[in-house]
């Protein structure tokens, strides 16, 4: 039973992360559509609202709940994990990831209401937050050891800085290409 539930848990995590990765990317394109002529902007706005809503309702929400249900089932099957430090830290990251999911929903509703608070660069950076959560959770689950976890956190921080720098460099390259 454990291996079946674990397999399903991994499948649902992958599905959830697919949505968590793709939604902010849609937000970037949705925001950048504001720079288009009015007729084109209106068409793009309608299309992005439809795509974002469908992605959220049909993929992200069910995958979130199925991930949480299978994860809870795994804890029921392996209750000794709850007393282990790595699991407690992992559950903290999972809570953070659920918060990220909920804030992404807030952004979805704001964009649908044509409230564009964030630039496309800020949304590109937001897009990388899910990647940081993914790295933190995977390394924590695989390594489990405190010493290895500390190395993992250090690596995660370096990774986060590299990702944020890469996003900024890509933006500069796009801007330079657009000027030429």
Q: What residues form the annotated binding site?
A: 9, 90
Give the 3-state secondary structure percentages of the chain, helix then strand then coil, rounded to 5: 90, 0, 10
Quick check: 23 and 55 in contact, CB under 8 A?
A: yes
Which positions make up the binding site for heme?
9, 90
Q: From CA 45, how far away is CA 114, in angstroms rounded? A: 9
Angle between helices 61-77 and 85-112 (to 10 degrees): 170
- DSSP string spanning 8-26? HHHHHHHHHHHHHHHHHHH
Give the burial class of 67: count Cβ atoms within 10 A of its Cβ; 0-12 exposed, 13-18 middle, 19 or more buried.
buried
């Amino acid at each position: 039973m454990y291996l079946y539930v674990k397999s399903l848990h991994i499948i649902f995590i992958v599905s959830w992360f697919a949505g968590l990765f793709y939604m902010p990317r849609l937000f970037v394109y949705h925001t950048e559509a504001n720079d288009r002529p009015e007729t084109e902007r209106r068409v793009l706005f309608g299309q992005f609202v439809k795509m974002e809503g469908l992605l959220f309702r049909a993929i992200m929400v069910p995958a979130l709940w199925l991930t949480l249900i299978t994860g809870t089932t795994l804890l029921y099957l392996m209750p000794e994990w709850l007393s282990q430090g790595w699991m407690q830290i992992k559950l903290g990251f999972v809570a953070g990831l659920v918060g990220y999911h909920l804030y992404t929903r807030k952004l979805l509703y704001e964009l649908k209401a044509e409230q564009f608070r964030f630039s496309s660069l800020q949304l590109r950076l937001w897009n990388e937050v899910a990647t940081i959560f993914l790295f933190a959770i995977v390394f924590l689950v695989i390594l489990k050891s405190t010493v290895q976890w500390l190395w993992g956190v250090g690596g995660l921080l370096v990774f986060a800085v590299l990702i944020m720098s890469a996003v900024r460099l890509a933006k500069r390259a796009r801007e330079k290409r657009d000027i030429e």
